[in-house]
Structure 1
Amino acid sequence: MQTFRSDALADRRALITGGSRGIGEAIAVLLASMGTTVVLAADDEPGLEKAGATIEGAGGQAELHVVDLLDPTAVADLATAAGDVDILINNAAPGQGRLPFLETPDEAWDLQLGLILRTSVQLIRALGPGMATRGRGSIVNISSSSVVDAAPYVAPYAAAKAGLEVVTRIAALELGPRGVRTNAVRPSFTPTQRVAHLVADPEFLAHQSRKVPLGRLAAVEDIANAVAWLCSDAASFVNGQVITVDGGGSAGTWRPPVQSDSPVGH
């Protein structure tokens, strides 16, 4: 029986896009601590160097690639440089421009669909065949609760993430018979540098926290833990799934209990 141990990902190789900060960095740090050589790709060179230093300072191994992930040629070169990876984490996403649907320009759609969806598809197509030939591999796509909990002003981002979930299921059906598992993790709102403008608003944070039965917002480590489990052999029979990490926020309508001096039932 496979169990989830601290060395569950030893001697594996993982490519993580958007690995310079936030959720991507947390995933990289955790996987490296479990023995994985992590290949980090982003356009943020200072962030990559910081993440790499954190990983190597803890005894892990990291390879850093400063890449424009919107450039198909650069992405193809990245896939070649990454080599025979066992794990692919499609995490990269741009910041969300909050514009009304009818006022959102084509450029905003191109940005979100390009980085979140097209780049992920390109990397799956580039690295999936090698995984299939070797008879093993794990692909994890990072989605968003905005796919099912629609909110105004983020249509391009939410649509791109929804498309990524569809790709997840289809890849699972087609690559599963060849030993490659494809899953997604769907986080709820998670404070990171990418949404610093929202994190700076105490009223917004309090509102988000009130929607979660566990009474707090997600931490990047919560998302990383779910990803690491999906990558491990402990999840060897999990394929084509979207794992929601939201503290129970999507379980149903949740409102904090109303304080009352009256005994229950009276």
Structure 2
Amino acid sequence: MTINQTPQVVTIAGSDSGGGAGIQADLKTFQARDVFGMSIVVALTAQNTLGVQSSLPIPCDFVAEQFDSLAADFHIRACKTGMLADKEHVQVVVQKLKEVDFGPLIVDPVMIAKGGHSLLKREAVDCIKKELLPLATVLTPNIPEAEVLVQQDIKTSEDMIQAAYDLQQMGVKNVVIKGGHSSDILAKDFVLLENGETFWMSSKRIETIKTHGTGDTFSSCIAAEIAKGKSVKEAIQIAKSFIQGAIEQEIFVGHGHGPTNHWAIPAQDILID
């Protein structure tokens, strides 16, 4: 009897009741990329496209029990983290990741929701830097998140490059600094790989507010591709094409920062240099 041959991936994050980000976006991405997705819920949110109205962390012991339950039955080949709420939840996630084998870890350091609501308490940042980042195979911060982690302003391409090296010094193997918040004409992401290779991924900038869940979707796609056996470099480049297509091929949901399109066709015009 064949058991656990289908690629399996887990998201360790917060639930988005509006469906556009968080665990819901992760699971949609896993499905779109042909892997079986699971979830470890760290927090609940009352959330829609207009913002986060409330959030409720899950008890830490129950978070740990979710880890144990999945580890007892499944062969998880990659995992990713998203919203981790506070220091206590970061610590329990770190502890359990050291105990179980969930494959390569992709860390999306979620800090602020699109509407401005804080999703990570300030005291948790140091814990992420010291305890979670050294476990990460890939780190995918946007510019504001990278600024918090390196404690420096990032205004130029040179700043993005320096931030990536600084983050790698914290123990991360591979770093993607996403450039969606920059003022460049193109949306340019800088990639620093474990072997020292670097490159930029550029795509046309889309004028839209339908970008809710872009970070979750991008990092989830990386996890899915790694679980299928792609190299880290290949997975990152596929994720760039996937998220670009998800932004370009709009869907119309809600009154605010609408979600991306998880059934979109990946874009084919990404420039790698």
Higher strand share: 2
Shared topology, TM-score over 0.5? no
**TM-score, normalised to structure 2's length?**
0.40
**TM-score, normalised to structure 1's length?**
0.41
Higher helix share: 1
